Amino acid sequence: MPRTAPLQRLEAPYRATRYRVFLPTATEDLRIGRPATAVDDWLRLHGCRQGVIVTACNPRSLPLGVAANRRLQSALLHLLHAMPHPMLPACNIACDGLWPEEHSLMVAGLSRGEARRLGARFRQNAVVWIERGRAAQLLWIVQRPLPTGR
């Protein structure tokens, strides 16, 4: 079985997930392939061209318990507090309701490389990449899944 086979099953659920960002004055649900106007405004306010939504929960999309995810997310938050990047709380919400909500963070100003390294450090398959004025996209940490023909 090719290395990417297990990831093929993740692309559709990742794309169907709502990535909710808790902005100071509003909440915006990002979707892959769609622009995020309120997040764009927040990035602009902080002088940043791009941002990333990242979680430490459920590494490699293997479900962990609440306590383990809380510890991992706390480690992510601790690491990010040591960096000079503005951030906001966020939450990844599976639209099918079959996957638990995951706490995440919206971080402004990271480069693509920094975003990938951060995701890799917490064993994530992908992070959500946002560039002002463009549609949100999945930034794969591990090798990107092959198209399934659908």
Q: Are 122 and 58 in contact (CB under 8 A)?
A: no
Residue 60 lies in a domain: yes
**Beta carbons within 10 angstroms of residue 92's beta carbon:** 22
Residue 75 lies in a domain: yes
Residue 90 lies in a domain: yes
pLDDT at 148: 45
Structural domain boundaries enclosing 22:
5-140
Residue 145 lies in a domain: no
Q: What is the pLDDT of residues 135-145, one digit of tens each?
A: 999 999 976 54
0.85 cut: is pTM over it? yes
pLDDT at 11: 87
Task: Count how many domains the chain has.
Answer: 1
Q: What is the pLDDT of residues 109-118, one digit of tens each?
A: 999 999 999 9
pLDDT at 75: 97
Residue 147 lies in a domain: no
Closest CA to 91 of 13, 9, 23: 23
